[in-house]
Amino acid sequence: MQRYLLPFFLLAASTAAFAQAPTRTDSLITRAQQISKQKNYPEAIKAYQLVVQEPTAKPRYKAISYYNIACYYGLQNDAPNALTNLEKAIEAGYVNAKHIAEDSDLNLLHGNKQWPKLLARARKLEEKQLIRRPEDVKLVTTDINRFWQAYSAAQRDTAQASAIFRREYFDKGSEGLKDYYSLKIKNDASFTKRILRRPLYYQSIQGTTLSIAKQKPQIVAAFKRFQELYPNVHFQNIYFVVGGWVSGGTVSDAGLLIGADQVANGPGVNTSELSLVQRNRCAPVTVMPELMVHELVHRNQGSQDGTLLSYALSEGMADFVSELVTGVKGGANSRLQAYGNAHEQELWADFKKEMLGTNPDNWMANGSQETPEKPCDLGYYVGYKICQAYYNKTADKKQALADILSIRDAKAFLAQSGYESGLASR
């Protein structure tokens, strides 16, 4: 796979690390991850071969491991072995046809006569798994119910709280919670600490989190509108979990994974124990349609190229599409609009200096830089404005949206958008 995307898929593969006591599969995957980060492709291949040979490894981990092996052979210009392992990956369940087609690590296979057949096979298998109708999307809220049961028990016995959350929440969790744990939570003790140090907040959000299931009609309506604007949209099931403020939303093979405790504001909710940025980000449950569209965009968009510009476009387009679908200015990050609009010129001047580098720290996921006067995450706003400029100047709006969701060259897209020249002429 494209090397800058490697961490996402490796983390997705490491969901087996969900259990407190590492299994043999956990250890093999962890070792493969470590070797992969060193870009030692021959050794990485050997490490992932051990995963696929491990009898206890789940099919999805084997599928992703085969795919990683294929990519590493591709990076070494070994077409026969890349092809063989790609075939194994597809048959084992790795059927993300769009990613396979766009992955530069497999470019050497594009001239092979088996390439179109493999892509066709992946698409056929993928089609069987796809959710095409918004009303067929499942909103899985069982993890919220389990959390509150565990929370009640943990409050009664705080000395054993971590073990209680493990036994009553994590071990009984859905596939979505398991992925969210692996990708975001990662540690029982730190999760427990984050939960228990905010008793006023968590005791006050039980009602709002339990009301999330009632949002399905609004979410389905938003997804239907998204499909009208972009008929090729692929839907996923949605898993709502309580994550201890580690992530408001992410995606995995399981579906869209939403940190319900970050979208739980409402009457009677006590946010005094939250930090400044947490209070500012703490959204009411009624913003679910905007947030769901934002996360669904991530499942349908093209790859990043590792630059800050590409990262900003990937998040900015999610907010822009969310706005198109729901009518809420700025979509899931509407709070950035006031500051962004008031400081757009200076933001662009500063962003431009860093946009072709790979360090996002001043623009994305930079909650430590939040102040009462200036919000963090302003890279989202910059990406949003570039996508907006492209959409506004393109006559065919459906094509414009398809172009935005399929960005492959961030620098070229910026030029095509006319954003910089338009901003200068204001």
DSSP string, 247-301: -SEEE-SS-EEEEGGGS-B-TT---TTS-HHHHHH--BGGGHHHHHHHHHHHHHS
Whether residue 14 is predicted with pLDDT greater than 80 in this model: the reply is no
Taking the C-alpha atoms of residue 374 and residue 209, their distance in angstroms, rounded to an integer, is 29
Q: What is the mean predicted confidence (pLDDT) over 197-214?
A: 96
| Separation of alpha carbons 315 and 250, rounded Å | 12
Per residue in 292-305, pLDDT (tens digit) is: 999 999 988 887 88
pLDDT in tens, 83-139: 999 999 999 988 888 889 988 899 999 999 999 999 999 988 888 878 889 999 999
Give mean pLDDT, residues 12-19.
32
Which pLDDT value is given to residue 3? Answer: 33
pLDDT higher than 70, residue 238: yes
Residues of the chain with CATH 1.25.40: 3-129
- List the one residue out of 353, 348, 416, 405 whose CA is nearest residue 379: 348
Helix (H) or strand (E) holding 126: helix 115-129
User: Is the model's pTM score more than 0.85?
Assistant: no
Distance CA 323, CA 318 (A): 9
3-129 — its CATH code? 1.25.40
* pLDDT, mean over the chain: 90
181-185, 194-198, 205-209: least confident range:
181-185
Instruction: Find, among 263, 269, 281, the residue nearest to 218 by Cα.
Output: 263
Torsion-angle region of 167 (φ positive above 0: left; ψ -120 to 50: alpha; else: beta): alpha
Q: Which pLDDT belongs to residue 23?
A: 62
Q: What's the rounded mean pLDDT across residues 402-425?
A: 95
Q: What is the structure's pLDDT at 28?
A: 83
Per residue in 127-176, pLDDT (tens digit) is: 887 888 999 999 999 999 999 999 999 999 999 999 999 999 999 999 89
DSSP 235: B
Q: Can you give the pLDDT at residue 16?
A: 31
For residue 13, pLDDT beyond 80: no
Residue 19 in this model has a pLDDT that exceeds 80: no
Span 407-421, average pLDDT: 95
Return the DSSP state at 184. Answer: I
Nearest CA among 146, 166, 163, 151 for reference residue 196: 151
